[in-house]
Structure 1
Amino acid sequence: MSTEDKPLIFEVSQNNFEDLVIHNSSHLPVLVEFMGIWSEPCIKTEYAIAELAKEFPGDFIFAKIDIDEQDELKQQFSITNVPTLVVFKDGKEVQREEGELQLEELRILLKHYGVFRESDELRDQAREKHMAGDTQSAIMLLTQAISSDPNNVRVALDMVQIFLDIGEIEQAQELFDRLPESAQKTDIGLSISTQINFIRLAQNTAGVASLQAQVLKSPDDYQARFDLAVCLFAQHDIEQGMEMLFFIQE
């Protein structure tokens, strides 16, 4: 990542398309979003790509084309739906995606063109280790990732999740509280925050085993079902937790 560069974000027209897109694609991957400013999926995709352009300044070009203003380009590239993302490399279209794209989907797309963070590679390795039961190795990999790329808050969020998974709630809370608010407000951050809250609530219940026994004994004990749902949510067992709540609502 070229930290000294600025994000390469441009609004493109018929007049500058050749220079900004075709010519530059010989040097960098160019992501062209055909969009309508009236479309919420377009705006969300634009925001996500712009965030990545800021994260990887100078590593790729983000070109925006307003189809209402640039009908000739719309026709030239046969754009029928927005948003449509077209990737150019070496003067040619190499990939096309229609519909709203989430941040993680865009990360995967960019990785295909060599735009990624090595710390994210370590995150993937750590996730595999943790899922395989080798949590100690996962923690070591995440520690290595944090040391090499301290600005990648996703690494710290992964560490928080591991702490939660192994029952180290206080360590998880302490690390989460040290993260910037922007990280806490991401989708991953909000999910973790919710899980922490459910774990705190679950600590004030009789516990999963006792509550399951109570529900079997008294199926209409709605308080026991609610408390059990809280415990299941705390364990990230969303499906079973929702079943408890659905029973109460019936």
Structure 2
Amino acid sequence: MAVSGHMLEVNLGNFQEAVIERSRQVLVLVDFWAPWCAPCRALGPILEKLAAEMDGAFVLAKVNSDENADLSRQYQVRGIPAVKAFRGGKVVDEFTGALPEPAVRRFIEKHLPAPGDDLHIQALDAIAQGRAAEAESLLQRVLGLNPKNDPARLALAHLAIQQDRPADAQAQIDAMSPTFQLETEVEGLKALLEFIETVRNAPPMAELESAIAHEKGDARAQAMYQRSLLLLLQKQETAALDQLIEMVERHKNYQDGLARKTILKIFALQGNQGPLVERYRSLLSRALH
């Protein structure tokens, strides 16, 4: 039966509906307790207070372990109070014992959606359907709610690049946390901005191909490098990598291994995985050795 709006008494009969199914929509904390347990009596009011204070952010499900031994065995409760966090129909975290309120609050908050997560999902859907202006508006609203939402900044940076606004993309990257800037996708985005800047004043493709055919030494290497970036920005990744592999074979030491470093940056753009990366990682190894 319902104890309060966001707190339920749960048993074997209603566990599937009250916990498993409910956790597909909202965080559910299951508190295994017993009336004789002094730590349970200390923890219980803290959980109940936070359930009321957070007003629907999570559901508190109270399980009397004495009366529900089957549930306790199923979820391997070896001591009480035992609190298990359910999301998406399964246990995602847990703790045992009576923690102080600040620790319980931290435990709960790390499993709650960040402000604007629903808008972020809508924005990604808009991007997938080609509605760039709508997506950008939604992502800006996300940042208004949570300026530290780095994934939203990443999505905005991608949109800015697609719309030929590299300065705006760089501004979003600069505003990301230092740790997030080390993510592979962000490293790939930085490389893409570098490539865009490098070819901004590059000669036309025909001129570069002529230089590759007739020049020697550094002049030829520079033309090969610029041509590879132009091909990459035209979405011709395979042709770009072929050019760079040839550059490694013929001009390995040009600008301290520029061709090799560029290939690695393209791998980062591809998420450092996938058939293209696997194929050219092998070709790069052969070219180097």
Over alpha carbons, which structure has the higher Rg?
2
TM-score (norm 2): 0.44
Q: Which has the higher contact order (CA 8 A, sep 6+)?
A: 1
TM-score (norm 1): 0.49
